[in-house]
Amino acid sequence: MDLNELWGFGLPAWITIVTVLTMFSILLFTKLRADMVFMGAVGLLLVTGVLDAKEAMSGFSSTSVVVIGVLFVVVAGLTYTGVLQWIVKNLLGQPKGYARTVVRLMLPVAALSSFLSNTTVVALFVGIVKIWSKKLNISPSKLLIPLSYASGMGGVCTLIGTPPNLIISGLYADKTNHAMNVLATALPGIFCLAVGVLSVIALRRLLPDRQSPESHDDATTDYTVELIVPSDNRFIGETIGYAELVDVEGGRLLKWRHFDNVKVPINKNEFLMGGDRLTYAGDVDKIQQLAQTHGLTIGDEVVNVGLGTLISSVIMIAMVVLSATGVMSLLQCAFLAAAAMLLCRCCTPDQAMKSINWDILLVFAGSVVLGLAIQKTGIAERLATGILDVCGTNPIVVMTVICLVGTFITEFISNTAAGAMFFPIMYEAAEKMGYDPYPFLIALMISVSSSFATPIGSPTHMLVYGPGGYRFSDFMRIGLLMNLIILAANIFIVNIIYPLTPLQ
């Protein structure tokens, strides 16, 4: 048989398939850097002629890639002005146990993602979760994957929560002249979210316990706490320099007040008194260790709220509102917000540049190009249309198989592209079997946004990939099971809320 048409795939398609499989194997079984592996795959597709130069470089001009890069700067402004610390202290609290922590995190994130951009919500919460996890003594890698999952599952709860819902509902309106209700996916989405939260808790042992590569970088912005000098402390009457409480490992002394609230200049020759309050910023573990070795009492976490905090909060809220109301695109809003953060000195240019995770941007740009290759060579379309030849005429089986393939495809291409590609397949399959396509399309909306098994399946996964210190295989360990669980929950609840009805 001619290789150019083996199993319906041409030579460019086979080159793409071999490239993707090789790339996945390298990522799963070696410790090579993910960004280098992705760039190597893109280079191979370019050299073999599968993609031209413009297509190979398209990932770097992709709107989603640029948005993520700019949002790093916005989040830097929120971090250095104390906004994230304030949210951790006043909104998230300190729940007991992992189960309560997951619920406390995933539910508000899902609620916000139902109406706001998933990418914006996760970009904001990555820093929050990193700080929060230190307070709770939980590895960030145990919380960042649930954070990304929550944003995706929350997005499907409304038609405006995620682009595939808008596209599928728009195509349905064009076909039938009937518009879907904005809350058409609310009940199925909430059910799947509840199942997802319980599944994350039940499968928590599959979540990796990784050391974040950023955990020791510029930790002074992460944790600010007040240490109190007890009245029987051995250093009372000694200078603070003698007690070695000025230049400490992993942190720095921000301010010092006596028991009567009198401010003391930070000078090594000043004497310690009982009841003194020393405010440190730095690594939470180092500050706690300092308290133990010097016999100090840990007081309240301090959040330095000032004019910068207010300004950065207003900038962030304005960005979200303008984007959510459609006044400007998210890309435009993110650029304006980043510029405002710099102009208002919420962060310095050096801090802004250091906040951008270039490794993740390279991986994400590479994943965009691979998705383009999969679409261009007809792999995705061939897989999608071929399923109708094997799944028969049982409506539940057809719905399940198409949703399963949709979930698989959306691990490699954008959920927006997957929604647009699978809409005609699902719609025509339902009509050919003589059923109203509406419930089939509701199930499709949820399935194309249910990508849990690879970090390239969603921009939000890429946002947590670096800060969590994850490996490529970490998503598969829990993600493959999550894909199957949410698929089953999706098919079950959709057929209860929207029973299949024959066409009149």
pLDDT of 58 > 70? The answer is: yes
The whole-angstrom separation of Cα 37 and Cα 106 is 32
pLDDT in tens, 150-193: 999 999 998 878 888 888 888 888 888 888 888 899 999 999 99
Q: Tokens representing 382?
A: 């061939």
Query: Which pLDDT belongs to residue 388?
Result: 66
Contacts of 46 (CB under 8 A, 6+ apart): 52, 53, 56
Contacts of 181 (CB under 8 A, 6+ apart): 159
Side chain identity at residue 294, one-letter code:
H
Confidence of residue 219 (pLDDT cuts 50, 70, 90): very low
List % helix, strand, coil for the chain (3-state, nearest 5).
65, 5, 30
pLDDT of 4 > 70? The answer is: no
Going from the C-alpha of 370 to that of each of 9, 152, 385, 403, 421, the distances in angstroms are 17, 21, 20, 22, 17
| Residue 84: closest CA among 137, 142, 132 | 132
Environment class of residue 209 by beta-carbon count within 10 Å: exposed (0-12), middle (13-18) or buried (19+)? exposed
Query: Which pLDDT belongs to residue 218?
Result: 42
Query: Which pLDDT belongs to residue 38?
Result: 87
Query: Which pLDDT belongs to residue 462?
Result: 87
| Residue 190: closest CA among 157, 149, 147, 148 | 157
What's the distance, Cα to Cα, between the start and end of the chain in Å? Answer: 46
Query: Which pLDDT belongs to residue 89?
Result: 67
Query: Which pLDDT belongs to residue 98?
Result: 93
Environment class of residue 457 by beta-carbon count within 10 Å: exposed (0-12), middle (13-18) or buried (19+)? buried
Side chain identity at residue 300, one-letter code:
D
Handedness of CA 413, 415, 416, 420 (dihedral sign): positive
Lowest mean pLDDT among 2-6, 284-288, 352-356: 2-6
Angle, alpha carbons 336-341-343 (nearest 5°) = 90
Residue with more model confidence, 195 or 35 = 195
pLDDT in tens, 454-487: 988 888 998 899 889 898 889 999 999 999 999 9
* Cβ neighbour number for residue 267 with a 10 Å cutoff: 11
Query: Which pLDDT belongs to residue 214?
Result: 52
For domain 230-295, give the CATH number.
3.30.70.1450
* Cβ neighbour number for residue 82 with a 10 Å cutoff: 21
The share of the chain scoring above pLDDT 90, in percent, equals: 29
pLDDT in tens, 373-431: 887 888 867 776 676 677 777 899 999 999 998 898 888 877 887 888 888 888 888 88
